[in-house]
Amino acid sequence: MSSEPPSPGGAPAQHAHGHNNSPDPELYRTEPVSFVRRGDRLTTRRQRTWDRAAGTYIVEVPRDRAATSVAEGARIDWAGVFGRSAPLVVDIGSGLGESTVQGAVDHPDWDLISVEVYTPGLAALLVQIEDRGLDNVRGLQANAPEVLDRLLPAGGVQEVWVFFPDPWHKTKHHKRRLVSPAFADRVARVLAPGGVLRLATDWSSYAVHMREVMDAHPQFANEHPGRAAGAGSPLTRVRVEGRELTVGAQPVAPRVGTLRAGVSEATAGASVQDPVDHRGGWAPRFEGRPLTSFESKALNAGRLVFDLTYRRG
């Protein structure tokens, strides 16, 4: 691990596919990334913390073309990075680092890796690391699928967390969603037998997508099969109570005669599906996930949070 901190302002801009402005960007990544690069401007405190602490707590990643890429053949000795051998937990898309830090505080015997592409989020993580005096957290500024493919050992991770990934609402953008069959394969590779994948989202269509993907994977089992089905399901509530009007509470159309505001009978159509979620499988809220400002805004906007937990066989 280098003692030279990465530069928060030096990363080249990327367009929506996550490539640098290279002459032949399509020759690089073969699948779209689940993010679009944003500004890297930091507050004064975060900038000072970054300058002081990034060389210690942000792991240097060998790059390919893109600023968030991981070079083919790259390897990291995590026991060497942390100075010990301990259970590894990977928090993907960790935002401002609240869940990573909470995990590190709750479990000092764990080593936590925060995977995040946005420099302000990693800088906020560094502030919390210093404020709490933590030594069992490291940050990685890289594209998560490449991290899973190249920087984590097979069967070497105890838990993977994916909390509130970008839902990419438009159908044409669904290919950008992080949780996919290919992603499930990657997580299955790095998780130890009995390891856990924890998911959370505040959008019902993405929750259904996550459940479909993970329930279909042969190496994972839902830890709470059938839980919170029927009238008490958050999915049923979203549909019946008319939440998420702007994205339609997919994939179920409203019942004729009990149409939600802004939805016409013509929109409902002749083939109306049952709005009740008979399948369930939703996990209780993960106690180790702190209530962040992001989640609070979702709840204040009337959205519900869906948790899912899967164990690798």
Point out the residues that are catalytic: 166
The angle subtended at Cα 195 by Cα 193 and Cα 201, nearest 5°, is 140
Burial of 244 (0-12, 13-18, 19+ CB in 10 A): buried
8 A C-beta contact, residue 240 and residue 204: no
SS3 79: helix
Backbone φ and ψ of 253, nearest 5°:
-80, 155
> Residue length, the chain?
313
**Among 239, 210, 247, 234, residue whose Cα is nearest residue 305:** 234
State the amino acid at position 133 in one-letter form: G
Tokens 């990363």 — which residue?
11
Q: Are 57 and 126 in contact (CB under 8 A)?
A: yes
Which tokens go with 72? 């083919």
Terminal Cα distance for the chain, rounded: 33
